[in-house]
Structure 1
Amino acid sequence: THTYSCMDTDGHGHTTHARTHGYTHTHTHARTHTRIHTRTHTHTHAHTHTFIHMIVHTYMHPHANTHVHTHAHECTHRLSTHLHHHDRLVALAEGVLQQQGNVTTP
């Protein structure tokens, strides 16, 4: 909390003292910028994590339990392995739908 011994206002809540106004403006701007930056970073991280989590459990776990177990400790290659398998499953699913006549190829 900041206490000011003299804070003259212009009737709209703005301080008329130059030094007080400058300090208040800088402090508010810095705090707002930090909050927006943190929120954006958190949202991006959560979205990325959700995307990876969805691929692992939706595509890998039900269709290839042995594959997941075998590569569980190869942390370096996990993401590329999951994405590669995800692409294969999507291609297989699209191929089946095309055979059934449900998908039109461009």
Structure 2
Amino acid sequence: MGLGSHWSHNGIHTYIYIYTYINTYILCTYIRTYVHTYTHRRTHIHTIIHTCVHTYIHTYIHTYTHIHTHTYTYIHTYIHTYIHIYIHTYIIHTYIHACMHAYTHAFIHACICHFSYVFYYEICISPLLHGYNNVDSI
């Protein structure tokens, strides 16, 4: 193996190491983000639904009791509760979207890591390990 082949060999190993490290870091970050988001999503959905239902029922009963004397308050509270339910529904939607987004990215990066490894191992590393040097044979 000539000097050029030696440097190519080391260069390829260095490149593969850096590329694998970066992609593994990206993949781990996305998996961690997915797990974190999924956990928070479940917690927040439970809390939000519980709060919305509890607030809505409590407010409805409370205002219905005083509806004859507090018609304006009832309407105001009803609208206020509706707005809160809408906002919390938007938060749930955002969490689900973030979860799906993180999962999709994690899957894509896993595919990139896998195919990059297969490609570089089969094309670059395997021939060097088995003594097939296409550069020297040309």
Pick the TM interval, shorter chain: 0.3 to 0.5
Bigger relative contact order (CA 8 A; separation at least 6): 2
TM-score by length of 2: 0.37
Greater Rg, structure 1 or structure 2?
2
The structure that is helix-richer by fraction is 2
TM-score by length of 1: 0.46
